[in-house]
């Protein structure tokens, strides 16, 4: 009787064959995938997250939200203008994609009326206030053109720095830009990571912009832009 029991224990502890290991690995992989999908579905945007990351969402709304003329007047002191990328010295440190800070000047949904041009022009600023738009005829700035400028500048930096600094693979630069520009699907976890990291690089990715805008509307049943801007602090001094 004891021998039979010992045999059963011994058999239960016997190493798995190759087929058994494959089945076990597949089972573990499937379990991990299910848990990841469950965690992904659990992430829901709410007002607390929006206000906790108000700098990110202010930049996001300023760049992509379809504001009315009245809203652009009411939220004038809080909206972000953004600015164009300008290439620094070639021997400076590499910048990365997101150095052009986006905002109203990239927003394709704005009709710049006479009243808005007056408000956002240099005439309305003062000696200590540089918050104004220089040339409305150049608007909106092209986000993808900005990204292209970054890409070509960083490639030029690579050619310069590869002899005087630790080498940086040109292919890695291209892969980084391709991932940012052409990624089509974003999980909820990827979206929250981008928000947490204040990663403005993905503003040039239309799929990300659509995904995030739709998620805001879907998850926050009482979302309205006035509630956001009425609560956040004034961004600029006047």
> Which two structure tokens, joined as six digits, stand for 153?
């500048």
Q: pTM score > 0.75 for this model?
A: no
Residue 45's pLDDT band (cuts 50, 70, 90): very high
The answer, yes or no, to whether the previous bond of 140 is cis (omega within 30 of 0) is yes
pLDDT digits (tens, 9 = 90+) for 100-144: 679 999 999 999 999 999 999 876 665 445 578 888 999 999 888
Average pLDDT over residues 69-76: 95
> Which two structure tokens, joined as six digits, stand for 158?
């690579």
Compare 136 and 35 and report the one with higher pLDDT: 136
Q: What is the pLDDT of residue 182?
A: 87
Average pLDDT over residues 173-189: 83
Compare 126 and 9 and report the one with higher pLDDT: 126
CB 212 within 8 A of CB 191: yes
Lowest mean pLDDT across 63-77, 78-92, 194-208: 78-92
CA 13/CA 135 separation, integer angstroms: 76
């Amino acid at each position: 009787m004891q021998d039979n029991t010992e045999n059963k224990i011994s058999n239960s502890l016997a190493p798995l064959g190759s087929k058994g290991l494959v089945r076990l690995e597949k089972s573990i992989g499937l379990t991990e995938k299910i848990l990841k999908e469950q965690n992904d579905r659990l992430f829901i945007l709410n007002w607390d997250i929006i206000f906790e990351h108000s700098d990110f969402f202010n930049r996001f709304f300023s760049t992509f939200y379809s504001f009315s003329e009245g809203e652009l007047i009411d939220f004038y002191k809080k909206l972000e203008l953004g600015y164009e990328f300008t290439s620094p010295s070639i021997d400076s440190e590499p910048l990365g994609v997101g150095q052009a800070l986006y905002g109203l000047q990239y927003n394709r949904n704005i009709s710049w009326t006479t009243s808005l041009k007056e408000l956002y022009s240099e005439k309305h600023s003062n000696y200590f206030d540089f918050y104004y738009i220089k040339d409305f005829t150049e608007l909106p700035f092209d986000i993808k053109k900005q990204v292209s400028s970054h890409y070509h500048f960083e490639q030029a930096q690579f050619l310069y720095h590869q002899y005087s600094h630790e080498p940086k693979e040109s292919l890695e630069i291209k892969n980084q830009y391709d991932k940012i520009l052409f990624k089509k699907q974003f999980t909820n976890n990827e979206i929250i990571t981008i928000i947490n990291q204040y990663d403005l690089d993905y503003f040039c990715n239309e799929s990300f912009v659509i995904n995030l805008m739709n998620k805001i509307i879907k998850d926050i049943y009482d979302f309205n832009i006035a509630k956001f801007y009425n609560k956040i602090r004034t961004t600029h001094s006047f």
